[in-house]
Amino acid sequence: MEKTLAAMTRRGFLAVGSAGLGGAALAACTSSSETPEFAADTDALESPMLAELVAAGSLPELAERLPATPMVVEPIEGTGAFGGTLQRAQTDATATGVMQSFAPTGLLEWNVASDASQESLAESYEISDDNRVYTFTLREGLKWSDGEPFTSADLAFAIENWLGNATLVPVPPFWYSDVDQQLPMFDAPDERTVVIEFREPFSLFEKYMCHPGVSTQFIKPKHYLEQFHPDFADQADVDAASAAAGFDSWDQYFADRDNTWTNPDRPTMGAFKVTAPASAQSGTATLERNAYFWKTDPDGRQLPYVDKIQVQVLDQSALDLRAANGDLDFQGYYLGYSTTETYLANAESRGFEVLRWTDTWSLLSLCFNLSHQNEALREVFLLRDFRFAMSHAINRDEINSTLLGGLGIIRNPVAPEGTEYGVDGSGQTAIEYDVDRANELLDGLGLALAGDVRALPDGTPLELTLLYMDDNQGMSRADAFGMVQEMWAAVGVRLNLRPVDSTLYAQLRLANDFDVDGTSMIEEDFDLEPVWFVPTGGNSHTAPGFGLWYSTSGADGIEPPDEFKQLLANWDALRSAPTADDRVASGQEIMQAHNDNVYVIGLMKLPFQPVVVNSSLKNVRDDAPKMSFYYGREGITKTEQIFFE
């Protein structure tokens, strides 16, 4: 579980250079006037790479490999040619994000607009009116990448023997837990049907089943993994095999065998499978097309169009240089905003384009610790006027023009307008720069100046420490917070900056031991990760004490005031909403409360996320889709249908 969770969130892909060498480069260099040689037969329904194997007798005919009703994918621009090798890179060897971006698997998936679910491995699905019972019907004749049939028994294995095994998954994950931390009821009446029943409505389950980081975890090959699981194999054999492989216990070995990014033997349902994991020697992972992949284009040609993907593990600076050199065919995640100019300067001469996708993750914000251990400070932070004053004291335009050339988008963190939970006109409360108003509010709260620093009612000076992780990927945090420091000093609040390492940062927040936290906030799809806006756990950025209180049902932590109890009640209502309308209404109430009270002070977010795309790579969305973990990052462009012309 630790592995899959970690896997869920990492990123990734590989880069290559020197056009003119290798298949991808060949594809990339072909001028549009002549047909590239590997796509000579545009009527072919399968990649020449696979046709060769069929001719040699080592692979069944295409008709036998596809299900009875393959999923048909509408190409974004038009149908394409088979072949080519796509180069990507990533900075972390263990990150498995590429599997979610380029080879996601799930019963459901997002539609192209990413605002609703659609069938994927499931041919059809039904959700009961009260959001309690979810019934999925699988396509007929689906096969794993090794040719074995994919049936409801595989799902039963994932749910009963993996999620249901306390050693493998100690705590039910939040995306699959029912009342009182128990698992929902599961039934597989026949080979193609699965029924999941929750005891109380779970309105978000449909979304989780589309979230590539979550839905993938339900798709496990029983016929392969059962040999590593004591429910099916002899415990002594399983233990011996784990020990022989150098693991302390069978569950670690199971997780290792179940990792599609590092274990080429593990069958998959995704568009690509790893044939060579990224070893230390090569620093590069190679993925090849899955011969049994179950999606086609409208002409009945088996997807994906691209034959191979190579992912190189690189340091950040090397990765940025490679992107600027045109060595990366399609990469958005891992690219820093600050290097955009270099990409633009080199794009034309090195044959790639720089797209501007929507950034969902960069609103630099200041979170007062509303559950501060020090009661005097906590009381002050919980006063709405205090937060308004501190917001008015910040000259955001100046920070914007200094750090982002005025391109940054100034707002407080709330769901953007036009999204499901968006409230019209929100995110602009107390955002204008007004020192007089700030001083007036602070004076009104009795925080009188003593010298040039204000004092709390008990006489201690109002001196706060801002905790943050230093990061220059987007805008320089040290610079931005340095300017805030000066602006707050001007209204009599002293701020000390404390940049820390990521581990210490997490530690201090979990221990509820900070005054102000400087972080990037998510704004969209907060329902998939409520902790950013509702203190649901001890890892909250705004009120870890309240979060602990909530997650331990009041046994631990700090009891929140009524307004936060209301926020948490709204969250509970959202999670168990019987209808979509109720769910959205609860979500909007949470956003309304954030908008009216400015629980978090926002500064500004980046105008876009740069994405580099090889000029000859087609069917990549250019309508600025969201770059987000919830949509599989680059996967939002449905990567199985991109092709090299």
Partner 1 sequence: MLRYIGFRALNAVPTLVVVSFVAFFVIQLPPGDFVTTQLQQLESQGATVDPAFAEALRDRYGIGEPFLVQYGTWIRNIVLDGDMGLSFQYQRPVTELIGERLPLTLLLGVATLLVTYLIALPAGVYAAVRQRSGADYTISVIGFIALATPNFLLALVLSYIGFKYFGQSVGGLFSPEYVDAPWSLAKVGDLLAHLWVPVLVLGIGGTAGIIRTLRANLLDELNKPYVTTARAKGLPEGKVVRKYPVRVALNPFVSTAGWHLPSLFDGEVIVAVVLSLGTVGPLLLASLKSQDMFLAGGILLIVAVLTVVGTLLSDILLAAVDPRVRFGRA
2/299 with CB nearer partner 1 = 2
Separation CA 127–CA 133 (nearest Å): 6
587 part of the interface to partner 1, by CB under 8 A: no
240/450 with CB nearer partner 1 = 240
Binding test (CB under 8 A) with partner 1, winner from 451, 503, 555, 562: 503
152/551 with CB nearer partner 1 = 551
Residue with tokens 């590069």, as numbered in its chain: 284
433 part of the interface to partner 1, by CB under 8 A: no
- Read off the tokens for 301: 């040609």
504 part of the interface to partner 1, by CB under 8 A: yes
Separation CA 640–CA 637 (nearest Å): 9
Which one of 146-154, 365-373, 383-391, 622-630 is the stretch in contact with partner 1 (CB under 8 A)? 622-630
434-473 residues near partner 1, rule: CB under 8 A: 469
578 part of the interface to partner 1, by CB under 8 A: no
Q: According to DSSP H, which parts of 476-532 are helical? A: 477-489, 502-510
Which one of 67-75, 168-176, 216-224, 438-446 is the stretch in contact with partner 1 (CB under 8 A)? 168-176
521/601 with CB nearer partner 1 = 521
Which one of 104-112, 283-291, 380-388, 415-423 is the stretch in contact with partner 1 (CB under 8 A)? 283-291
6/156 with CB nearer partner 1 = 6
3-state DSSP helix/strand/coil % of the chain, to nearest 5: 35, 20, 45
508-527 residues near partner 1, rule: CB under 8 A: 508, 510, 522
Separation CA 198–CA 279 (nearest Å): 42
Binding test (CB under 8 A) with partner 1, winner from 154, 327, 524, 527: 327
Binding test (CB under 8 A) with partner 1, winner from 280, 425, 459, 581: 280
248 part of the interface to partner 1, by CB under 8 A: yes
| Amino acid at site 575 | R
Binding test (CB under 8 A) with partner 1, winner from 29, 179, 245, 569: 245
Rg (CA), the chain: 26
492 part of the interface to partner 1, by CB under 8 A: no
Helix (H) or strand (E) holding 356: strand 352-359
SS3 574: helix
419 part of the interface to partner 1, by CB under 8 A: no
Which one of 218-226, 324-332, 481-489, 580-588 is the stretch in contact with partner 1 (CB under 8 A)? 324-332
313 part of the interface to partner 1, by CB under 8 A: yes
Binding test (CB under 8 A) with partner 1, winner from 110, 293, 514, 630: 630
Is the dihedral angle over the CA atoms 21, 25, 26, 32 positive or is it negative?
Answer: negative
Binding test (CB under 8 A) with partner 1, winner from 216, 312, 595, 639: 312
Which one of 219-227, 265-273, 371-379, 627-635 is the stretch in contact with partner 1 (CB under 8 A)? 627-635
- Read off the tokens for 284: 């590069």
- Read off the tokens for 482: 């340095």
Binding test (CB under 8 A) with partner 1, winner from 35, 69, 373, 507: 507
Separation CA 4–CA 223 (nearest Å): 19
Binding mask 333-372 for partner 1 (x = CB under 8 A): -----------------x----------x-----------
Binding mask 123-162 for partner 1 (x = CB under 8 A): ----------------------------------------
Separation CA 570–CA 97 (nearest Å): 32
Binding test (CB under 8 A) with partner 1, winner from 73, 209, 531, 613: 531
SS3 187: strand
Spatial strand order in the sheet of 626-627 = 330-331, 609-614, 352-359, 626-627
Kindly determine how many residues on this chain lie close enough to bind partner 1 according to the rule CB under 8 A: 82
Binding test (CB under 8 A) with partner 1, winner from 286, 426, 588, 614: 286
Residue 388 CA to its chain's centroid (Å): 32
Binding mask 203-242 for partner 1 (x = CB under 8 A): ----------x-----------------------------
SS3 548: helix
534-553 residues near partner 1, rule: CB under 8 A: 537-539, 548, 551
321 part of the interface to partner 1, by CB under 8 A: yes
374-413 residues near partner 1, rule: CB under 8 A: none
Q: How far is CA 520 from CA 214, 470, 645, in A?
A: 23, 11, 38
- Read off the tokens for 96: 């498995």
Separation CA 627–CA 612 (nearest Å): 13
Residue with tokens 């429910």, as numbered in its chain: 231
Separation CA 44–CA 205 (nearest Å): 39
Name every residue whose Cβ is closer than 8 Å to that of residue 576 and which is 6 or more positions away in sequence. 131, 200, 201, 202, 203
165 part of the interface to partner 1, by CB under 8 A: no
Separation CA 296–CA 66 (nearest Å): 9
319 part of the interface to partner 1, by CB under 8 A: yes
| Minimum distance of partner 1 from residue 443's CB (angstroms) | 38
70/535 with CB nearer partner 1 = 535
Residue 601 · residue 226 · CB < 8 Å: no
DSSP 422-481: --TT-S-TT-S--HHHHHHHHHHTT--EETTEEB-TTS-B-EEEEEE----SSS-HHHHH
Which one of 30-38, 142-150, 246-254, 488-496 is the stretch in contact with partner 1 (CB under 8 A)? 246-254
65-94 residues near partner 1, rule: CB under 8 A: 85, 87, 89, 93-94
End-to-end CA distance of the chain: 40
Phi/psi of residue 117, each to 5°? -85, 160
294/352 with CB nearer partner 1 = 352
Separation CA 36–CA 42 (nearest Å): 10
Binding test (CB under 8 A) with partner 1, winner from 305, 505, 546, 549: 505
